[in-house]
Amino acid sequence: MDKLEPALRIKKTLDLWRAKYFFARLGGAALECAGLALWLSETGRLALGWSWIVVIGTVLTFALGWLLGPVLDKPQIKTPQP
């Protein structure tokens, strides 16, 4: 067993968690923007119909799925069993 193997395994795990954290924050920001657009639309400050909010939400959902697919579908690193 190589001495660097456990360190590389930890680094890969941390990189995966950093990517998940980044995309979770990105998703949260998108949700806040969608909530703001909905609120502005309901209060009459933004002339945006409900149908456009649905279209924008659908496009964002598919875009996030396309971007996150390669990151989240990576095989998980399994620890060796003694």
Span 36-56, average pLDDT: 87
pLDDT per position as a tens digit, 61-77: 898 888 878 877 777 66
Four-CA torsion 79, 66, 30, 40, nearest 10 degrees: -160
pLDDT value of position 43: 92
**Gyration radius of the chain over CA positions:** 20
Q: pLDDT band for position 80 (50/70/90)?
A: low
Q: pLDDT > 70: what percent of the chain?
A: 84
What percent of the chain is helix, strand and coil (3-state, nearest 5)? Answer: 75, 0, 25
Contact 34, 57 (CB under 8 A): yes
